[in-house]
Amino acid sequence: MILCLIALTCSTALAFEPSPLQDFCVADSASPALVNGKFCKDPKLADAKDFFYSGLHLPGNTSNFLGSKITPVNVAQLPGLNTLGISMVRIDFAPCGVNPPHYHPRASEIFTVLEGTLHVGFVTSNPENRLISKVLLKGDVFVFPMGLIHFQRNMGYGNAIAIAAFGSQYPGSVTIANAVFGSNCNIPSEVLTKAFQLDNNVIDYLEAKF
Ligand SMILES: *[C@@H]1O[C@H](CO)[C@@H](O)[C@H](O)[C@H]1NC(C)=O
């Protein structure tokens, strides 16, 4: 009995997102109720448009300082993804464009290059902090394990396009530079000067950037 309980508890802890308890649970955007995920709308009222998204063939606008643009298709854009534990993005890169170091708190990511040449990598956790990176060509696939900091950079002369899928309906994203130097309110400079071994004025400079 005790062993069964332990086994059950462990299997729950290992699952990334709970398995669905019905065919589907289309997110009801009108519901004011807050649950872990989104409330279900009446399944009898669900139809094809709840399971549908259009426009992933369209290039994202990369005219920004990073030279990259993410087009997400998660439960916020596609309500039928609620409780299914999957989602995806399209990422466009201008020449030299970068998707800066970030991590997804709730999902591993499987990433494939449709066009162009991308240098991608992730860093293992403390204390090794080993960079595992590779240059990817069209058709190549790479995986970023859940919670690890990763990046992509366009190395080619032309634009690059990637599609990535996640093991979460809403993987979330934490961009390191924005979270550390652009938090609302700022992390105390006494913390950042020690953490980054930088002078106060450099910290001020970085905070002003974000
Ligand atoms: C792309 O974004 C830039 C900067 O926000 C904007 O000036 C430009 O009009 C946009 N281009 C298109 C095609 O939407």
Its domain, for residue 36, covers 2-55+66-172
Interatomic CA distance for residues 111 and 155, integer angstroms: 16
| Burial state string for 30-65 with b = 16 or more CB within 10 A and e = fewer than 16 | eeeeeeebbbbbeeeebeeebeebeeeeeebebeee
Q: Tell me whether residue 98 is in a domain.
A: yes
* Cβ atoms of 86 and 74 closer than 8 Å: no
pLDDT category of residue 34 using cuts at 50, 70 and 90: confident
Place of tokens 């071994």: 197
Pick from 148, 13, 144, 165: nearest CA to 74: 165
Pick from 10, 46, 2: nearest CA to 27: 46
* Cβ atoms of 207 and 186 closer than 8 Å: yes
Cβ < 6 A, ligand 1 pocket: 61, 63
Interatomic CA distance for residues 119 and 22, integer angstroms: 41
From the CA of 63, how far away is ligand 1's center (Å)? 6
Ligand 1 atom 6: residue of nearest CA: 63
Per-residue pLDDT reduced to its tens digit, 51-93:
999 999 999 999 999 999 999 999 999 999 999 999 999 999 9
Q: Tell me whether residue 206 is in a domain.
A: no
Q: Tell me whether residue 203 is in a domain.
A: no
From the CA of 94, how far away is ligand 1's center (Å)? 13
Q: Does residue 68 sit in helix, strand or coil?
A: strand
Cross-strand pairs, 136: 118
Exposed/middle/buried for 125, CB within 10 Å: 0-12, 13-18, 19+? exposed
* Percent with pLDDT over 90 in the chain: 85
From the CA of 32, how far away is ligand 1's center (Å)? 35
Q: Tell me whether residue 60 is in a domain.
A: no
Pick from 98, 202, 94: nearest CA to 157: 94
> The pTM is what?
0.89
Q: Tell me whether residue 165 is in a domain.
A: yes
**Mean predicted confidence (pLDDT) in 162-183:** 97
Please report, in range form, the residues annotated as the binding site for Mn(2+). 102, 104, 109, 150
Neighbours of 141 (CB within 10 A): 11
Ligand 1 atom 3: residue of nearest CA: 63
Pick from 153, 175, 150: nearest CA to 162: 153
In total, how many domains does the chain have? 1
Q: Tell me whether residue 202 is in a domain.
A: no
Per-residue pLDDT reduced to its tens digit, 109-124:
999 999 999 999 999 9
Q: Tell me whether residue 192 is in a domain.
A: no
Q: Tell me whether residue 71 is in a domain.
A: yes
Ligand 1 atom 7: residue of nearest CA: 63
Does 10 score more than 60 pLDDT?
Answer: no
Pick from 83, 88, 105, 87: nearest CA to 36: 83
* CATH number assigned to the domain comprising residue 124: 2.60.120.10
ω into residue 185 within 30 of 0, thus cis? yes
From the CA of 152, how far away is ligand 1's center (Å)? 22
